[in-house]
């Protein structure tokens, strides 16, 4: 009997050594959670209970329990390196054909050939769908989708409105609006240019020319260039006939230099055909009111110059907030929210089933995953450009090695002692 008791001790010590060795082997594994060998004694009883003189029958390995305490954060220069500071697991989808969710604390993510954000095993990071402002539209596990980075910003946005605010010099010379010529600087007092976009996303430079026609009154012409570089006058709907029959608008100021009115109002161009196959019915509304348009005795200045068109944009970068909102930045200056990283937690994290690669699956013991957003309920904060390192305490593990080794030696000594006693009995004559 004592041989078997000592043998169970050897097996337990060996299991302890194996668990400790595995912890030490993964001391540099991102998101790794150390394990602890838990033992229980073996005690035989009869149907009437244990005898007062009964002796235990050894030890057995009761459980190998992972310890989900927080590891330290290590900061990197990669935006897609993610860490959860606090409670929560990232949710992953293993593949197109296997949509069963798996869970991890390892935030080493990259991008595959299709633009999906994946871990080093190819599992896709799951996010909640969001509105344009980053608010989540659904927060259930079934509503999560793989995070995919867009390559373009979709179709271009045609320029339809321009906000413009200028100061026109009150001491400017009065000129004849019928003598306006965009190639002769002496026929206008000031000018400014901006870039607009047609329905194909192609850019065009539109120039506004300001001509003082009377005290407190200015005429404004607009020109651009067509697809072959020729000057293209832009007419104003309902405007005033000017040089070469081009239609312009008037802007009036009061005696204090404040903006008073436009004629016509609103200032909307007639259809512009840029000659490149874009929409020939494009019009632009120029808005001077409430944009700081003045006539003071100071040099010509541009205070406001904005337009609402955009070309097709290429992805230039990704930003991930502390709450997990993923925003894609594009070369056309646009920023779009494309998802919010989903987190999950469990009533009993130690009941999760290990599947390798620092990943787990839910089980009956863990309970169903509770899904939510970072910094809500008991979920932690998402840190972009950081990784959670292994929570293994190397010093403590080395001490465990010594203890396991001593336990193994002690149980081996028990077997040796039993062998000596048995041999003595055999040698009795």
The 10s digit of each residue's pLDDT in 174-226 is: 999 999 999 999 999 999 999 999 999 999 999 999 999 999 999 999 999 87
Residue partners of 184: CB distance under 8 A and separation at least 6: none
More confident of the two residues 414 and 328: 328
Shortest CA distance to 72 belongs to which of 25, 105, 104?
105
Q: How confident is the model at residue 45 (pLDDT cuts 50, 70, 90)?
A: low
pLDDT (0 to 100) of residue 317: 92
Q: Over the stretch 350-362, which tens digit does the pLDDT of each residue have?
A: 999 999 999 999 9
Within 13 Å and on the Cβ side, how many CA atoms surround 203? Answer: 11
Q: How confident is the model at residue 429 (pLDDT cuts 50, 70, 90)?
A: low
**Token pair recorded at residue 256:** 């204090």
**Token pair recorded at residue 208:** 């506004």
Secondary structure of the chain in the HEC alphabet? CHHHHHHHHHHHHHHHHHHHHHHHHCCCCCCCCCEEEEEEEECCCECCECCCCCCCCEEEEEEEEECCCCCCEEECCCCCEEEEECECEEEEECCCCCCCCEEECCCECEECCCCEEECCCCCEEEEECECCCCCECCCCHHHCEECECCCECCCCECCCEEEEEEECCCCCCCCCHHHCCCCCHHHCCEEEEEEEECCCCCEEEEEEEEEEEECCEEEEEEEEECCCCCEEEECECCCEECHHHCEEEEEEECCCCEEEEEECCCEEECCECCCCCCCCCECCEEECCCCCCECCCCCCEEEEEEECCECCCEEEEEEECCCCEEEEEECCCCEEEEEEECEEECCCHHHCEEEECCEEECCCCCCCCEEECCCCCCECEEEECEEECCCCCHHHHHHHHHHHHHHHHHHHHHHHHHHHHHHHHHCCC
Residue partners of 254: CB distance under 8 A and separation at least 6: 216, 260
pLDDT (0 to 100) of residue 9: 86
pLDDT of 46 over the 60 cut? no
User: Distance between CA atoms of 324 and 84, rounded to whole angstroms?
Assistant: 10
Residue 346, classified by CB atoms within 10 Å of its CB into exposed (0-12), middle (13-18) or buried (19+), is: buried
User: Distance between CA atoms of 284 and 162, rounded to whole angstroms?
Assistant: 7
Shortest CA distance to 208 belongs to which of 216, 219, 197?
219
Q: How confident is the model at residue 51 (pLDDT cuts 50, 70, 90)?
A: low
Q: What is the reported pTM?
A: 0.77
User: Distance between CA atoms of 23 and 11, rounded to whole angstroms?
Assistant: 18
Q: Over the stretch 405-414, which tens digit does the pLDDT of each residue have?
A: 998 998 888 8
pLDDT (0 to 100) of residue 334: 86
Lowest mean pLDDT among 50-59, 138-147, 341-350: 50-59
- CA 201 to chain centroid, in Å, comes to 27
Q: Over the stretch 102-132, which tens digit does the pLDDT of each residue have?
A: 999 999 999 999 999 999 999 999 999 999 8
Q: What is the mean pLDDT of residues 125-143?
A: 94
pLDDT (0 to 100) of residue 52: 67
pLDDT (0 to 100) of residue 43: 78
**Token pair recorded at residue 72:** 């330290």
pLDDT of 366 over the 90 cut? yes
**Token pair recorded at residue 2:** 């004592």
What pairing do the DSSP bridges indicate for beta strands 203-214 and 217-225?
A: antiparallel
Domain locations along the chain: 2-69+391-426, 76-152+318-388, 161-307
C-alpha distances in Å from residue 237, one per residue of 78, 263, 266? 52, 10, 9
Q: Over the stretch 269-280, which tens digit does the pLDDT of each residue have?
A: 999 998 889 999
Q: Over the stretch 153-186, which tens digit does the pLDDT of each residue have?
A: 778 899 999 999 999 999 999 999 999 999 999 9
365 and 348 Cβ atoms separated by less than 8 Å? yes
Name the architecture of domain 161-307.
Answer: Sandwich (2.60)
Q: What is the mean pLDDT of residues 90-105?
A: 89
User: Distance between CA atoms of 34 and 36, rounded to whole angstroms?
Assistant: 7
């Amino acid at each position: 009997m004592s041989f078997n008791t000592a043998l169970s001790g050897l097996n337990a010590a060996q299991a302890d050594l194996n668990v400790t060795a595995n912890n030490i082997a993964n001391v540099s594994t991102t998101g790794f959670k150390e394990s602890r060998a838990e033992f229980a004694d073996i005690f035989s009883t009869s149907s009437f209970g244990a005898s007062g003189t009964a002796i235990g029958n050894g030890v057995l390995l009761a459980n190998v329990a992972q310890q989900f305490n927080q590891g330290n954060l290590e900061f990197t220069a990669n935006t897609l390196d993610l860490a959860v500071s606090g409670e929560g697991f990232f949710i992953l989808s293993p593949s197109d054909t296997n949509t069963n969710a798996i869970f991890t604390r390892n935030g080493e993510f990259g991008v595959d050939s299709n633009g999906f954000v994946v871990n080093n095993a190819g599992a896709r990071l799951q996010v909640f769908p969001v509105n344009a402002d980053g608010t989540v539209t659904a927060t259930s596990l079934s509503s999560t989708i793989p995070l995919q980075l867009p390559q373009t910003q979709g179709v271009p946005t045609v320029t339809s409105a321009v906000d413009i605010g200028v100061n026109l010099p009150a001491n400017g010379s009065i000129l004849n609006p019928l003598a306006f010529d965009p190639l002769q600087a002496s026929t206008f007092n000031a000018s400014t240019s901006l870039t607009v976009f047609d329905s194909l996303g192609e850019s065009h430079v539109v120039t506004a020319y300001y001509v003082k026609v009377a005290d407190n009154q200015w005429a404004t012409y607009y020109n651009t260039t067509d697809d072959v570089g020729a000057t293209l006058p832009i007419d104003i709907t309902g405007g005033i006939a000017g040089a070469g029959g081009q239609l312009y608008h008037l802007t009036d100021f009061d005696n204090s230099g404040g903006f008073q009115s436009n004629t016509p109002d609103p200032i909307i161009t007639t259809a512009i055909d840029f000659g490149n196959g874009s929409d020939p019915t494009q019009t632009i509304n120029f808005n001077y009111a409430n944009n700081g348009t003045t006539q003071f005795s100071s040099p010509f200045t541009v205070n406001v110059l904005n337009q609402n068109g955009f070309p097709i944009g290429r992805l230039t970068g990704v930003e991930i907030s502390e709450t997990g909102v993923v925003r894609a930045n594009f070369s056309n200056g646009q920023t779009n929210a494309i998802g919010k990283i989903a987190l999950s937690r469990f009533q009993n994290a130690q009941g999760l089933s290990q599947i390798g690669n620092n990943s787990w699956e839910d089980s009956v013991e863990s309970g169903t995953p509770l899904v939510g957003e970072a910094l809500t309920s008991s979920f932690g904060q998402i840190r972009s450009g950081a990784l959670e390192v292994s929570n293994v305490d190397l010093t403590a593990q080395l001490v465990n090695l010594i203890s396991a080794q001593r336990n193994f030696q002690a149980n081996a000594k028990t077997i040796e002692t039993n062998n000596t006693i048995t041999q003595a009995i055999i040698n009795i004559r």
